[in-house]
Amino acid sequence: MTDKPQDRVLIFDTTLRDGEQSPGATMTHGEKLEIAQLLDEMGVDIIEAGFPIASEGDFAAVSEIARQSQNAVICGLARAQLPDIDRCWEAVKHARRPRIHTFIGTSPLHRAIPNLTQDEMAERIHETVSRARNLCDNVQWSPMDATRTELDYLYRVVEIAIKAGATTINIPDTVGYTAPRESADLIAKLIENVPGADEIIFATHCHNDLGMATANSLAAVEAGARQIECTINGLGERAGNTALEEVVMAMKVRNDIMPFQTGVDSTKIMNISRRVATVSGFAVQYNKAIVGKNAFAHESGIHQDGMLKNAETFEIMRPEDVGLTETNIVMGKHSGRAALRSKLENLGYELGDNQLKDVFVRFKELADRKKEIYDEDLIALMRTATDPEADRIKLKSMHVTCGTDGPNEARMTLIVDGQELSTEQSGDGPVDASFKCIKALVEHSARLQLYQVAAVTEGTDAQATVSVRMEEEGRIVTGQSADTDTVVASARAYIHALNRLLVRRKKGGTDQREVSYKVVS
């Protein structure tokens, strides 16, 4: 099939903006730069790097990503306000290919928020899109909650944005309300009825509140949209956004009925999926399409028999198409650094010598406790790598006593800002006692929102991966850790979250030195 120019669908990734708005998914500066580099390398066309006016941290991250990007368009988000647009331009202007993305809510519900009439909003749109276009020749405009906006008014404001200089018009299904037939119909009507529609690119931005984000995005493309806004792992507010891996692989696997092309290297999907899951603290559900642990797993006897005879019997795509290597048992306590480096590279991790040295020590410690080291164990090991920006609290030692008859107690020693602190606490089980030890040594008002344990592999010696989510004065942080001892993993995950909280305090204006700790006898 000939690849016609109009068959090219642009992939606009908003993991670093909309994805990071998921409660608890805030990433550090270094993590944002790393994810942006991976997105750039995999062939994403546009990276929405952040919301520059939201904070100094967001501005710094967008600016640095703009400077470092090699291929992708770097986009910043701005409300329909002149200071937002000016700040956005200051952040993206150093990119080889900058874009300003400005938006305003156009539905009756959203117009009521700034209390603007239809005419007043139309004037605001013309003014702000014009300002953006005077600064940058690549301007995207979005009528937020477009799918619940009156059709005649949507025609009107889209035309205004095009005349003011917008080069991309994004049609957001902000609350995941629409259905595939409606999504396609809306794009088709806009193309048919809005003057100048043939001169710009229409985009689609779908949320997954009703589980139809991918279907709605693909329907919009079939109707004429040529840009899909999406995130890695479907990360995003509420039920998330359209998943990048799903739309990319849908168009690749079903190219017979969806003859569209993207520039994404699908073999890099698994690596970035794992990395985003790690830095965001949002684990990928086992049965998630494309990137879930069970996406290429077969337990049914009939399925296994079919797979042995012909993999295509029950797999519509090859694992290697998404960068997945077959799980095998080749690593153990006798494996050396070279073997570990090679295995990690196969799993998508490239480490410097110092990083490898640290990981190798922890690998040997794990190998002494576990007979068989699976790929999943190594991935979990990489997840527990300490954040370079969040290493002020360290677990030195702990001992717990628990059972049906005796007290549930924990003894713990932490290193806090270089000072060794110890305490003993009792609780409702060993995990509760351990968390009380940490809170006694590092006083804070954070509330535990989530405590989740999952086994990495099978067997009684399997590693447990623990995820912790905490909230303090509107700041939400997550922590993760893995260990063959569930209680140890729990304590380290709690500490990981606390370390991240200290970083968030600093970014929020609190001096990083303001940490209250004490020795409890």
Residue 85 and residue 166 in contact, taking contact as beta carbons nearer than 8 Å: no
Mean of pLDDT values over 177-203: 98
- Rounded Cα distance between 298 and 304, Å, is 6
| pLDDT, position 467 | 87
Q: Are 27 and 280 in contact (CB under 8 A)?
A: yes
pLDDT at 365: 80
Length of the chain: 521
Tell whether the model's pLDDT for residue 98 goes beyond 80. Answer: yes
Do 5-280 and 393-517 agree at the fold level?
Answer: no
What is the rounded distance in angstroms from the CA atom of residue 35 to the CA atom of residue 38? 5
Whether 48 shows a pLDDT value over 60: the answer reads yes
Q: Higher-confidence residue: 207 or 383?
A: 207
pLDDT for the residue numbered 326: 56
pLDDT band at 516, cuts 50/70/90?
Answer: very low
Q: CA nearest 260: which of 37, 516, 11?
A: 11
Return the residue matching tokens 């991240």: 500
- Percentage of residues of the chain with pLDDT beyond 90: 59
pTM above 0.85, yes or no: no
**Angle between the N-to-C axes of helices 486-507 and 430-441, in degrees from 0 to 180, rounded to the nearest 10:** 30
**Residue 401 amino acid letter:** T
Q: Which residues contact 388 (CB under 8 A, 6 or more apart)?
A: 30
Fold of 393-517: Double Stranded RNA Binding Domain (3.30.160)
At residue 312 the predicted structure's pLDDT band, cuts being 50, 70 and 90, is low
Beta bridge partners of 74: 47, 98
Check pLDDT > 70 for residue 513. Answer: no
Rg over CA atoms, the chain? 25
Q: Give me the sheet containing 475-483, strands edge to edge.
A: 447-455, 464-472, 475-483
Predicted confidence band of residue 385 (pLDDT cuts 50, 70, 90): low
The token pair that represents 450 in the structure block: 């989530």
pLDDT for 254-287, tens place per residue?
Answer: 999 999 999 999 999 999 998 998 888 888 888 8
In whole angstroms, give the CA distance from residue 355 to residue 147: 48
The first and second tokens of residue 159, run together, are: 């035309």
Q: Which residues contact 476 (CB under 8 A, 6 or more apart)?
A: 23, 24, 26, 449, 469, 470
CA angle 23, 24, 26 (to 5 degrees): 105
Residue 351 has pLDDT above 50, yes or no: yes
Q: pLDDT value at position 476?
A: 82
Indicate the average pLDDT of the chain. 87
Q: State how far the Cα of 187 lies from the Cα of 174, in Å rounded to an integer.
A: 15
3-class secondary structure, 386? coil
User: How far from 417 is each of 397, 512, 516, CA to CA, in Å?
Assistant: 16, 11, 11
Report which of 106, 206, 204 is spatially closest to residue 158, judged by C-alpha positions.
Answer: 106
pLDDT at residue number 371:
66
Segments making up each domain of the chain, as ranges: 5-280, 292-320, 325-383, 393-517
pLDDT digits (tens, 9 = 90+) for 436-490: 999 999 989 999 998 989 877 666 667 888 888 889 888 888 888 888 899 999 9
Report the pLDDT value the prediction gives residue 259, as an integer from 0 to 100.
94
pLDDT one-digit tens code per residue, 108-143: 999 999 999 999 999 999 999 999 999 999 999 999
pLDDT the model gives residue 507: 61
Q: How many CB atoms lie within 10 A of CB 339?
A: 13
Which CATH class, in words, describes the domain spanning 5-280?
A: alpha beta
Nearest by Cα to 429 from 401, 456, 408: 408
